[in-house]
């Protein structure tokens, strides 16, 4: 127990910092009446979920909290202003994001200690999930400030429930690491888990991440959820190979969540793996195909260097080994090279 006094079931009776006038919704008036009981305590931090695309995805309570908070701390104030305008909310906006959190965070804590209520919103969805909100919550908890979730949309859960894969248990892994090696290591740590795995990923990294998943996890079933709740919403369901092939036809655009089936059965993954099965990349000390410890680029280079094949032929051989199409290999290599360039690692 951390001694927090926040309670989730107060029926909307939390203190309102702004006058809730005649025209205010009944809940707001109730909140007003409960104000004095808590006026002496420190202000609160409200984690207010906002839409992940469709602006209608917001709760009555979230709107009320945004109306009543003394300050709205937003990751992107311009984005949040659009939302506030849509609902006719004035509100004082301050910015709180990855690049100013070291100064903005303590300033917000001081406001709350002085009795102001702060509504934290992220760019989209539930603040604190793969965004700097987590750090502000930590600061607030350390300062003894009540932290109150105001739940609502979240990309990971939306993708999970629409995936068609087992929703419980699941493991939310956030954004996978950027470096190729770190990515492979992170996936290896997840490989034995039976939980459905949920990741966020940026479009320009999608192919490399899928290729690494194919390498490390095997050809599992996957749902690739894109642009949820937006005009171009789409959930692709298939195997990782099929997802890779699709990327070849339709270059990635927009925001993505990847939902990957957990390990199933006796040492294998659901989709199996052409040319070796899901155990191709075995635990340390176990045997597996000779290329199992290699990245895709190393695998191709092996054929070029050791067998004197042309690049095209080497890619074909690596594709056959891994049960991929040549186009998948090509796309994945391009993406790996992009990632290596961006991370300053030397491309293989
Ligand atoms: N806090 C947010 C939440 O609760 O979902 C997530 C913030 S994280 C910085 C942003 C990532 O969430 C995006 O890169 C993408 O992976 C995922 N995401 C956000 N909106 C999405 C959407 N409409 N469709 C698919 N993925 C989305």
Residue pLDDT, tens place only, 166-219: 999 999 999 999 999 999 999 999 999 999 999 999 999 999 999 999 999 999
Whether 83 and 103 map to the same domain: the answer is: yes
Whether 319 and 206 map to the same domain: the answer is: yes
Highest mean pLDDT among 88-92, 223-227, 296-300, 343-347: 223-227
Highest mean pLDDT among 10-19, 20-29, 263-272: 263-272
| Rounded CA separation 222/267 (Å) | 18
Convert 147-177 to b/e letters by CB count within 10 Å (16 or more is b): bbbbebbbbbbbbbebbebeeeebebbeebb
> 């309570």: which residue's tokens?
61
Tens of pLDDT, residue by residue over 40-86, are 345 999 999 999 999 999 999 999 999 999 999 999 999 999 999 99
Please give the full DSSP string across 206-218, using - where no structure is assigned: HHHHHHHHHHHH-
> Which of 102, 134, 153 corresponds to the end of one domain?
153
> Which of 153, 169, 196 corresponds to the end of one domain?
153
Whether 106 and 194 map to the same domain: the answer is: no
- Domain annotation covers residue 278: yes
Q: Is 76 in the pocket of ligand 1 (CB under 6 A)?
A: no
Instruction: Supply the pTM of this predicted model.
Output: 0.72
Tens of pLDDT, residue by residue over 113-158, are 999 999 999 999 999 999 999 999 999 999 999 999 999 999 999 9
Give me the domain span that covers residue 274. 157-343
Number of separate domains in the chain: 2
Whether 168 and 146 map to the same domain: the answer is: no
What CATH number is given to the structural domain containing 209?
3.30.950.10
- Domain annotation covers residue 17: no
The H-or-E segment that residue 290 falls in is none
- Domain annotation covers residue 1: no
Shortest-distance Cα residue to atom 13 of ligand 1 = 255
Bridge-based pairing of strands 147-150 and 45-48 is parallel
Whether 247 and 118 map to the same domain: the answer is: no
Whether the Cβ atoms of residue 303 and residue 317 lie closer than 8 Å to each other: yes
Q: Is 330 in the pocket of ligand 1 (CB under 6 A)?
A: no
Which residues contact residue 156 at a Cβ distance below 8 angstroms, ignoring those fewer than 6 apart? Answer: 129, 172, 198, 200, 257
Q: What is the 288 CA–ligand 1 centroid distance (Å)?
A: 37
């Amino acid at each position: 127990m951390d001694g927090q006094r926040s309670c989730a079931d107060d029926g909307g009776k939390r203190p309102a910092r702004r006058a809730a006038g005649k025209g205010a919704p009944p809940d707001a008036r109730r909140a007003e009446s409960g104000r004095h009981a808590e006026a002496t305590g420190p202000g609160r931090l409200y984690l207010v979920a906002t839409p992940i695309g469709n602006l209608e995805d917001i709760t009555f309570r979230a709107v009320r909290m945004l109306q009543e908070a003394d300050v709205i701390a937003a990751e992107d104030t311009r984005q949040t202003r659009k939302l506030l305008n849509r609902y006719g909310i004035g509100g004082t906006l301050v910015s709180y994001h990855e690049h100013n959190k070291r100064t903005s965070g303590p300033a917000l804590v001081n406001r709350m200690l002085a009795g102001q209520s702060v509504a934290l919103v992220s760019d989209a969805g539930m603040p604190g999930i793969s965004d700097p909100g987590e750090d502000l919550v930590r600061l607030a908890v350390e300062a003894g400030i009540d932290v109150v979730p105001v739940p609502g949309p979240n990309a990971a859960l939306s993708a999970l429930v629409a995936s068609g894969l087992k929703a419980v248990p699941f493991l939310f892994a956030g954004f996978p690491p950027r470096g190729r090696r770190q990515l492979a290591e992170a996936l290896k740590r997840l490989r034995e888990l039976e939980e459905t795995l949920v990741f966020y990923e940026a479009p320009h990294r999608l192919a490399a991440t899928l290729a690494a998943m194919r390498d490390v996890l095997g050809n599992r079933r996957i749902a690739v959820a894109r642009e949820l709740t937006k005009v171009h919403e789409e959930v692709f369901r298939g195997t990782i190979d099929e997802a890779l092939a699709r990327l070849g036809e339709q270059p990635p655009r927009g925001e993505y969540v990847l939902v990957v089936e957990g390990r199933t059965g006796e040492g294998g993954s659901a989709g199996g793996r052409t040319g070796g099965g899901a155990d191709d990349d075995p635990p340390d000390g176990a045997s597996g195909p000779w290329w199992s410890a290699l990245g895709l680029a190393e695998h191709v280079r092996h054929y070029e260097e050791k067998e004197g094949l042309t690049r095209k032929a080497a890619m074909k051989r690596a594709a056959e080994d891994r049960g991929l199409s040549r186009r998948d290999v090509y796309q994945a290599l391009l993406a790996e090279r992009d990632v290596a360039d961006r991370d300053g690692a030397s491309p293989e």
